[in-house]
Structure 1
Amino acid sequence: MFIYNVTTNIEVNVHDEWVEWMKNIHIPAMLQTGKFEGATMSRVDVVESMGGITYSVQYKIQNKVTLERYFEENAEELKKQTKLFEGQFVSFRTEMEIVHEQ
């Protein structure tokens, strides 16, 4: 099992709109690709503030092959949706392999 993590710092002035957009439009669109098994959105408790508010969205995915298919088939189109908030956020992505769960 893998996790595709997207960490985003969003400006305060669009925060509420962005959170609603993520919950009601973007995350459902990611799941509708059929490649992800679920998503968890968490607010990051940042010790040293860089301004804005930071969130992590973790998408569970069965394997690396499926994740690569997401990048090839869906990623570009879904990233275009973020133009609504262009210049008001910074994101970075991390791919993680789950080694152990209890």
Structure 2
Amino acid sequence: MLLYNVTSIIEDASADRWLQWMQDVHIPQVMATGMFVSHRLLKVLDSPNEGVTYCAQYVADSIEDYETYQQQFAPALQAEAAELFANQAVSFRTLMEYVA
């Protein structure tokens, strides 16, 4: 199993709107792709960055599911986020493998 982690740093003024959008729109869209079996959204409490930091985590059963997501779904979903929160949020992505 794999963990796809998306860490986002959002300006304070946009944080509430971003969080609502994530919960109501974005995460349901990601899960509707069928490429992930579960998800969670976490708030980073000790971030050294200005603004508010969140981690959206998605669990994939296989590298094939993750790659399908990246090829077929991620570009449009990431473009929507970039458009809605231009100059208000920055994200970086990490793929991890469960070892224990």
Give the TM interval when normalised to the shorter protein.
over 0.9
Contact 1:10–1:53 under 8 Å retained in 2 = yes
SS across alignment from 1:36: coil
Change (3 A) 1:47 1:13: closer
5+ residue gaps, structure 2, are: none
Aligned residue number for residue 32 of structure 2: 32
Aligned to 1:7, the other structure's residue is in SS state strand
What CA distance in whole angstroms lies between the structure 1 residues aligned with 2:91 and 2:35? Answer: 21
Contact 2:5 2:93 in 1 (8 A): yes
Residues 28-82 of structure 1 show CA distances to partners (whole Å, capped at 9, x for unaligned) of: 000000101111000012253x210000011000011110111111010111111
CA distance in 2, matches of 1:21, 1:54: 15
Map of 1:42 onto structure 2: 42
Q: What corresponds to 1:88 in structure 2?
A: 88
Q: Unaligned 5+ residue runs, structure 1? A: none
Q: Partner of 1:51: helix, strand, or coil?
A: coil
Query: Could you tell me which residue of structure 2 aligns to residue 60 of structure 1?
Result: 59
Aligned identity (percent) is 38
Please report the TM-score for the alignment, with normalisation by the length of structure 2: 0.95
Contact 1:11 1:51 in 2 (8 A): yes
Q: In 2, distance between residues paired with 1:75 and 1:88?
A: 20
Q: Normalising by structure 1, report the TM-score.
A: 0.93
Q: CA RMSD in A?
A: 0.9
